[in-house]
């Protein structure tokens, strides 16, 4: 394949992935800034400047670097690299399942970093993070299955051009996915492993032992993560490659994010038992019902394909 043919085939994909890699920190950081302001307003405060998350991260790079051991920083870098890769895979229109598996790999590096620190608080944070992963993973996988059954493809690139919005076929899975999104955004009531609010029983949980630049990298990774999660929510509403549907999806995703903030501010953290139980029950019921109905309706191949 020569360069021109290659660019013709993959140019858009590469461009979109590159844009993601460049712009996601901007979007994610702004989202975090908006989040903090909305949270403050909900609590009757004024809140920090919009750009506060960027100041925080820049500040962290100014601090002197200390660490508990070398290995933990090593894992943190891997976490960031693979998280960026995961997001790029999504924005390049890649396979949803592969995207989920890559995400798991990235998360594993984060958890390993906390385990490597070998401190009580980070170890319990790691364990809780792992529990959260176990809680949300079935729902996320089932959502991917739902996309496949609704549109006939696992490829994000194909789903964008499906004949109708996936949410029309998998509304229950959409609700279920929103439920586990709280885990992913690390928001109350499912912010078991760490949280943006200080003063909790496990100090800063999984991030306790990271400081300075390592912590900054983790923050940046979370911005990348937030960006592709928003895009994932938007994917439910996109069809036919229609740019308006992309905007619609983005709008819905931002509304969902607003609801997440509201829930964050109105719910207390639950115990881990309730967290995993509820997530599995939601995944089991929405997944089973939605996929069953879809199978019965379709009989043969996906009717949106």
Partner 1 sequence: MDPVYFLLLFPLLPALVLLAVRNDRVRTAVVWASALIVAGASVWMAGRYYTSEYSLFDTHAWVGTAMSALKTLFAIAVAIYAIRRRRFWIVLIVAAQEALSLWFEFSPAVRVEEPLNLFADKLAIAMVLIVGVVGGLIAIYSLGYMRTYHRHHPELKDRRPLFYSVVFVFLSAMFGIVLSNNLQWMYFFWEVTTLCSFLLIGYTRTEEAKRNAERALGFNLLGGLAFVGAIVYEGLTMGTVDLRKLLVYGASGYDVLVPVLLLSFAGMVKSAQLPFSSWLLGAMVAPTPTSALLHSSTMVKAGVFLLLKLAPVLAGHASGTMVVLVGGITFLVGSIVAITHSDAKNVLAYSTVANLGLIVACAGVGTSEAVWAGFLLTIFHAVAKSLMFLSVGTIEHSLGSRDIEDMHGLLVKWPAMAITIAIGIAGMFLAPFGMLISKWAAMKAFIDSRNVVIVLLLVFGSSATLFFWVKWLGKIVAVLSHIEPVHKEASLDEGTALAVLAGATSLMCVLFPVVSSYLIEPYLFGVFGPAATGAIIAQSNITVMTMMLGMVVVIPAALYLFMHGRKETIVPTYLAGANTRDDRYFVDAHQEPRRVFLSNWYMTGFFQPERLLRWSGVASILTMLTVAAIAVGGLLR
Partner 2 sequence: MAFLKRSPWMIHYDGSSCNGCDIEVLACLTPVYDVERFGIVNTGNPKHADIFLLTGAVNEQNREVVRNIYDQMPEPKVVVAVGICATSGGIFRECYNILGGADKVLPVDVYVPGCAARPESIIDGVVKALAVLEEKRRALPPRARRGRRAEASAQGGNA
Residues that bind partner 2 (CB under 8 A): 36, 40, 43-49, 52, 55-56, 58-59, 61-67, 198-200, 203-204, 207-212, 215
Query: Quick one: 200 or 285, whose CB is closer to partner 2?
Result: 200
Among 39, 73, 169, 227, binds partner 1 (CB under 8 A): 73
SS3 of 96-152: HHHHHHHHHHHHHHHHHHHHHHCCHHHHHHHHHHHHHHHHHHHHHHHHHHHHHHHHC
Cβ atoms of residues 210 and 113 within 8 Å = yes
Cβ atoms of residues 106 and 228 within 8 Å = no
Among 65, 242, 259, 297, binds partner 1 (CB under 8 A): 65
Round to whole Å and give the CA distance between 278 and 287. Answer: 13
Considering only residues 131-150, where is the footprint of partner 1 by CB under 8 A? 131, 133-135, 137-138, 141-142, 145, 148-149
Task: Give the side-chain half-sphere CA count within 13 A for 17.
Answer: 18
Q: How far is the CB of 82 from partner 1 (least distance, A)?
A: 7
Query: Quick one: 128 or 204, whose CB is closer to partner 2?
Result: 204
- Point out which residues pair with 155 in neighbouring strands: 95
Q: Which does 58 bind (CB under 5 to 8 A by kind): partner 2, partner 1, none?
A: partner 2
CA 162 vs CA 149, 208, 230, 234, 290: distances in Å: 11, 44, 19, 14, 19
Q: Which does 48 bind (CB under 5 to 8 A by kind): partner 2, partner 1, none?
A: partner 2
Round to whole Å and give the CA distance between 250 and 237. Answer: 9
Q: What are phi and psi of 262, to 5 degrees?
A: -60, -45
Cβ atoms of residues 29 and 224 within 8 Å = no
Q: How far is the CB of 127 from partner 2 (least distance, A)?
A: 18
195 Cβ contact list (under 8 Å, min separation 6) = 186, 187, 188, 205, 269
Considering only residues 39-58, where is the footprint of partner 1 by CB under 8 A? none
Query: Quick one: 14 or 203, whose CB is closer to partner 2?
Result: 203
Among 60, 90, 112, 257, binds partner 1 (CB under 8 A): 112
Among 79, 180, 194, 209, binds partner 1 (CB under 8 A): 209
Round to whole Å and give the CA distance between 60 and 275. Answer: 32
Interface with partner 1 includes 240 (CB under 8 A)?
A: no
Among 14, 21, 50, 130, binds partner 1 (CB under 8 A): 130
Query: Quick one: 47 or 284, whose CB is closer to partner 2?
Result: 47
How far the first Cα of the chain sits from its last, in Å, is 29
Query: Quick one: 106 or 261, whose CB is closer to partner 1?
Result: 106
Interface with partner 1 includes 180 (CB under 8 A)?
A: no
Residues that bind partner 1 (CB under 8 A): 64-75, 77-78, 81-82, 85, 89, 94-95, 97-98, 101-102, 104-105, 108, 111-112, 114-123, 126-127, 130-131, 133-135, 137-138, 141-142, 145, 148-149, 203, 208-209, 273, 276, 280, 283-284, 287-288, 291-292, 295
């Amino acid at each position: 394949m020569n360069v021109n043919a290659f660019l013709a085939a993959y140019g858009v994909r590469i461009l979109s992935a590159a844009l993601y890699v460049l712009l996601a920190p901007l979007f994610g950081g702004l989202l975090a800034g908006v989040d903090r302001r909305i949270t403050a307003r909900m609590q009757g405060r004024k809140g920090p400047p919009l750009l506060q998350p960027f100041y925080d991260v820049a500040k962290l790079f100014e601090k002197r670097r200390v660490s508990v051991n070398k290995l933990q920083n090593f894992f943190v870098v891997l976490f960031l690299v693979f998280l960026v890769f995961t997001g790029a895979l999504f924005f390049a229109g890649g396979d949803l399942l592969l995207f989920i598996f890559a995400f798991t790999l990235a998360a594993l590096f984060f958890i390993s970093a906390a385990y490597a620190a070998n401190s009580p608080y980070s170890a319990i944070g790691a364990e809780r993070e792992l529990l959260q992963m176990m809680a949300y993973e079935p729902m996320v996988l089932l959502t991917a299955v739902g996309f496949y059954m609704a549109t006939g493809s696992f490829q994000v690139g194909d789903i964008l051009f499906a004949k109708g919005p996936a949410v029309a076929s998998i509304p229950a899975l959409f609700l279920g996915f929103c439920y586990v999104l709280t885990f992913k955004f690390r928001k109350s009531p499912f912010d078991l492993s760490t949280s943006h609010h200080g003063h909790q029983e496990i100090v800063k949980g999984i991030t306790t032992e990271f400081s300075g630049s390592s912590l900054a990298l983790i923050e940046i990774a979370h911005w990348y993560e937030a960006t592709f999660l928003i895009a994932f929510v938007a994917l439910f509403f996109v069809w036919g490659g229609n740019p308006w549907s992309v905007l619609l999806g983005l709008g819905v995703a931002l509304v969902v994010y607003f609801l997440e903030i509201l829930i964050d501010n109105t719910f207390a953290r639950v115990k881990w038992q309730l967290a995993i139980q509820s997530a599995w029950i939601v995944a089991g019921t929405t997944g089973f019902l939605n996929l069953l109905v879809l199978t019965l309706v379709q009989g043969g191949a996906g009717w949106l394909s």
